[in-house]
């Protein structure tokens, strides 16, 4: 599975962005889709995941209620809608795919290249 993320950019506090992650391969529906982020000087952290069928969303506490993960398997794409963005959300965001429901980066075998989100105060 090859993944390509896009949709990052510069936004003001309180603003919104939608990230997209396009996957190659007809078996994408069998993979859990996840989003992670990594801020400068920090470890990569889990943001959200969704199971292959498009249900079972799970979020990090830091984004719960503000971010929404979804997927369109007809388009082989996973989305991350980010609302009420805060400066603390500034990071490179990565999409990933795994065979298991997980929140740890090591459980995800496939990664996109990352897209930068910058939230200005």
Residue 114: phi and psi, rounded to 5, are 95, 145
Going by the DSSP 8-state scheme, the letter that residue 74 receives in this structure is: T
- Which of 28, 6, 23, 15 shows the shortest CA–CA distance to 93? 6
Is residue 99 pLDDT above 90, yes or no? Answer: yes
Please, which residues have CB within 8 angstroms of residue 26's CB and are 6 or more apart in sequence?
Answer: none
pLDDT digits (tens, 9 = 90+) for 35-72: 999 999 999 999 999 999 988 999 999 999 999 999 99
Dist. CA 46–CA 35, nearest whole Å = 7
Q: Please give the average per-residue pLDDT across 91-110, as a whole number.
A: 96
In whole angstroms, what is the distance from residue 20 CA to residue 18 CA?
7
Q: What confidence score (pLDDT) does residue 27 get?
A: 81
Place of tokens 């506090």: 13
If you write DSSP's letter for every residue of 6-68 in order, what string do you get?
E--EEEETT--EEEEEEE-STTGGGSEEEEEEE-TTS--EEEEEE-TTS---EE-TTTTTTEE
The model's pLDDT over 8-36, given as tens digits with 9 standing for 90+, comes to 999 999 999 999 999 997 688 899 999 99
């Amino acid at each position: 599975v090859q993944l390509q993320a896009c949709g990052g950019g510069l936004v003001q506090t309180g603003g919104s962005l939608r990230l997209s992650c396009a996957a190659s391969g007809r078996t994408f529906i069998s993979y859990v889709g996840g989003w992670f982020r990594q801020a400068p000087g920090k470890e990569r952290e889990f943001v959200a995941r969704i199971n292959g069928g498009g249900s079972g969303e799970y979020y990090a506490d830091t984004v719960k209620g503000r971010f929404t993960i979804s997927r369109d398997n007809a388009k082989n794409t996973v989305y991350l809608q980010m609302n009420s963005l805060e400066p603390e959300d500034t990071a490179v965001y990565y999409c990933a795919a795994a065979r298991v429901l997980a929140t740890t980066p090591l459980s995800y075998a496939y990664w996109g290249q990352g897209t930068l989100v910058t939230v200005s105060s």
